[in-house]
Structure 1
């Protein structure tokens, strides 16, 4: 439904000693996306249960493709389409990512991203195609009244998530604003 957004399921090889998986393979991604991806930065975040991070994005020229995975614990990951010329502009999708299924969410440039930590704690790893730029970083408020994201707070018995001061001050989503062309 969302052009360019992919839920990826890497092959996992299990045996009595544990498992092995390729978390990134350029040839496989090239085959799926039909374009080459050049990741330049890996990020790792640790969050306690109930922490909600996002909704983050970087504006052009530092917009980022991201490959998000939860390497320990479980999260509800959300991507919001901010591409003004997209038929899904202003729509969101949420997926559960965890360390058991090892699924990854590829989020193209033009999307805001955030997640809610469902497990006692979680480590989230994401690769980006552009370096972090403080001047280009932007936020859309996690509980925007237009977007109406259904965060699964009932799964963790939290009425209100734990949100950083920075994320609490995110902008409201505006249908007439051009985020990305």
Structure 2
């Protein structure tokens, strides 16, 4: 039976040369306050040419603010492109010449008022690899101290505290559909179970 067949380990090739596309030319289609749209002509591995339209994004961070009792701080925010109020962890884009950890600390305080004693880098994700350069660095924040938040002009969001069981029920039901929040929640579960080690705190 198929279920009894052993799984084969398929190693990666020694080189990526048969996959890489080379930029031939680049055209700026739109440059906005936040995003830039480009169209590049590329040479494919077989020597043919194709076009790639994509968004240039400055990068972003997301924070998992963890309380001592195991609950986490979350947000409700209206996201115009999808026309819905979404449940998310605090997050925001990098300012010019800003480090990812500095951005994480700034966004947590601005959006929620909280500061943290310890910060841990979890991972970097690429949420829309088909048409954007965007990356999001995920951080865990511990030792939270409440303070006054400082929202940007035109920024409206609610904060609330949730337990992990409720978060995973929202993921299962589709009430949480934000990909970075889903990925972060599974990371948090691995960390809290002890299966994945946090490592040393992040420092600047």
Q: Which has the higher helix share?
A: 2
TM-score of the aligned structures, taking structure 1 as reference length: 0.26
TM-score of the aligned structures, taking structure 2 as reference length: 0.24
Q: Work out which structure has the larger RCO, using CA pairs closer than 8 Å and 6 or more positions apart in sequence.
A: 1
- The structure with the larger Rg is 2
